[in-house]
């Protein structure tokens, strides 16, 4: 089983799927890439049992077969090699792998491809087509709000709701929540499932935005196909909390403010905030917003005043500055709106004006009790 391939092309394909590799594998075979040759095509797979990625490229080969090659060594060798054709020579009995190139050759031990876990097939699946741009935006807007509590695994992923009217992505960790909805993409029927964090990160790093993604899913797995990559992941099992119930409906106090100005001010003031609560106080009166933070233990404090557009009763409310900064960073509009009802209830942050009529973004942040 011998084949010839360009070193840079092979490296690019390996790097696109190498994010799947885990540093703490229970199965030693998962520290390898699975190489499968057939019909002049090389299919490379990487897996951590939960998530599997495959990529395909053209090679010069006369035979077919499969072998597992140690991932780290292979990537390190190719990284330090100028662009040139490499000839891979695999001994079918010992599974030894020899790479011959312009001025030398390297040898390493491979393993039988049959030891590699079988890639799950998706049966009775539903298919939806999405643009890479929508998927990339949905991941970018929601992923930061997912939880990392092992006791509540359902909240560590992104909840996807597909319907004939729209598609919705939701993430929450019980302190903050993001709902991202698109009306320019629909599914044939209604369905919902929870996608884990790792495959979403891998999708995001491989999407350029102008491709079309074919997504197939059933009750236990999801499969994404785009460019020359296939990603298969296991869905998170469990019931997602009723997120609509926590979004307050009546929010008469509305603050409209320049996003960059607001973000910069929070960044500066939060330096002086308490290191456990990260609390920043917003005091709203008339057309003025006062931001303040203090850390009594170190006698640190900071105050800033901003002009804003505020419609509502005078109020003081505290938020975790880190949550506000994450949310303001992920929004892109020049101005944002913060809708509130009272100091003990969640605030809703959203773009002040929509750039895209088909896009609906809502971010919810729980308040922090103010120290009196």
Domain contains 43 = yes
Domain contains 120 = no
In this structure, are strands 60-61 and 2-6 parallel, antiparallel, or unpaired?
A: antiparallel
81 and 154 together in one domain? no
318 and 278 together in one domain? yes
CB 180 within 8 A of CB 142: yes
Domain contains 289 = yes
Domain contains 317 = yes
24 Cβ contact list (under 8 Å, min separation 6): none
**pLDDT value of position 251:** 96
9 and 110 together in one domain? yes
CB 234 within 8 A of CB 221: yes
| CATH code, domain carrying 222 | 3.10.150.10
**pLDDT value of position 371:** 65
**pLDDT value of position 178:** 98
Of 115, 136, 159, which residue is a domain's last?
115
133 and 107 together in one domain? no
Block residue for tokens 């890479």: 132
Quote the distance between the C-alpha of residue 149 and its chain's center. 17
Domain contains 97 = yes
Of 196, 212, 244, which residue is a domain's last?
244
Q: Which domain holds residue 50?
A: 2-115
Of 57, 88, 115, which residue is a domain's last?
115
Domain contains 121 = no
> Per-residue confidence of the chain (372 residues) as pLDDT tens digits?
899 999 999 999 999 999 999 988 889 999 999 999 998 899 999 999 999 999 999 999 988 999 999 999 999 999 999 999 999 999 999 999 999 999 899 999 999 999 999 988 899 999 999 999 999 999 999 999 999 988 899 999 999 999 999 999 999 999 999 999 999 988 888 999 999 999 999 999 999 888 999 999 999 999 999 999 999 999 999 999 999 999 999 999 999 999 999 999 999 999 999 999 999 999 999 889 999 999 988 999 999 999 999 999 999 999 999 999 999 999 999 999 999 999 999 999 999 998 889 999 999 999 998 765
294 and 237 together in one domain? no
Could you give the CA distance from residue 93 to residue 99 in angstroms, rounded to a whole number? 17
**pLDDT value of position 49:** 93
131 and 215 together in one domain? yes
**pLDDT value of position 290:** 97
107 and 151 together in one domain? no
103 Cβ contact list (under 8 Å, min separation 6): none
**pLDDT value of position 1:** 83
Q: What is the DSSP string of 112-164?
A: EGGGSPPPPP--S-EEEEEEHHHHHHHHHHHGGG----TT-GGGGSEEEEE-S
Could you give the CA distance from residue 370 to residue 212 in angstroms, rounded to a whole number? 48
130 and 234 together in one domain? yes
161 and 149 together in one domain? yes
100 and 150 together in one domain? no
84 and 149 together in one domain? no
15 and 71 together in one domain? yes
Phi, psi at 130, each rounded to 5°: -130, 150
The domain tally of the chain equals 3
Domain contains 104 = yes
């Amino acid at each position: 089983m011998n084949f010839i391939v360009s070193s840079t092309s092979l490296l690019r394909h390996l790097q696109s799927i190498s994010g799947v590799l885990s540093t703490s594998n229970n199965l030693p075979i998962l520290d390898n890439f699975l190489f499968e040759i057939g019909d002049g095509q090389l299919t490379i797979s990487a897996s951590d049992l939960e998530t599997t990625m495959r990529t395909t490229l053209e090679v010069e080969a006369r035979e077919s077969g499969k072998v597992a090659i140690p991932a780290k060594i292979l990537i390190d060798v190719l990284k330090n090699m100028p662009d040139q054709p490499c000839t891979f020579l695999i001994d079918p009995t010992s599974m030894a792998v020899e790479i011959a190139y312009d001025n030398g050759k390297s040898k390493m031990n491979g393993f039988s491809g049959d030891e590699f876990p079988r890639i799950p097939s998706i049966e009775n699946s539903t298919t939806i087509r999405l643009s890479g741009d929508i998927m990339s935006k949905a991941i970018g807007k929601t992923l930061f709000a997912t939880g990392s509590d092992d006791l509540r695994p359902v909240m560590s992923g992104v909840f996807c709701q597909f319907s004939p009217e729209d598609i919705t992505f939701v993430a929450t960790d019980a302190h903050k929540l993001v709902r991202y909805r698109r009306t320019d993409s629909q599914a044939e029927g209604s369905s919902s499932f929870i996608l884990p964090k790792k495959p979403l990160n891998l999708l995001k790093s491989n999407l350029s935005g102008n491709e079309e993604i074919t997504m197939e899913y059933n009750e236990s797995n999801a499969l994404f196909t785009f460019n020359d990559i296939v990603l298969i992941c296991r869905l998170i099992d469990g019931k997602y909390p009723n997120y609509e119930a926590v979004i307050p409906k009546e929010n008469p106090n509305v603050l409209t403010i320049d996003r960059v100005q607001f973000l910069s001010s929070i960044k500066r003031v939060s330096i002086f905030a308490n290191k456990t609560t990260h609390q920043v106080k917003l005091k709203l009166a008339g057309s003025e917003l006062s931001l303040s933070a203090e850390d009594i233990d170190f006698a640190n404090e900071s105050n800033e005043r901003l002009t804003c557009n505020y419609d509502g009763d005078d109020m003081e409310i505290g938020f975790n500055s880190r949550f506000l900064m994450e949310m303001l960073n992920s929004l892109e509009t020049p101005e944002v709106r913060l809708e509130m009802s009272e100091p003990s209830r969640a605030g809703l942050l959203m773009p002040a004006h929509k750039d895209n009529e088909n896009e609906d973004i809502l971010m919810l942040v729980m308040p922090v009790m103010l120290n009196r």
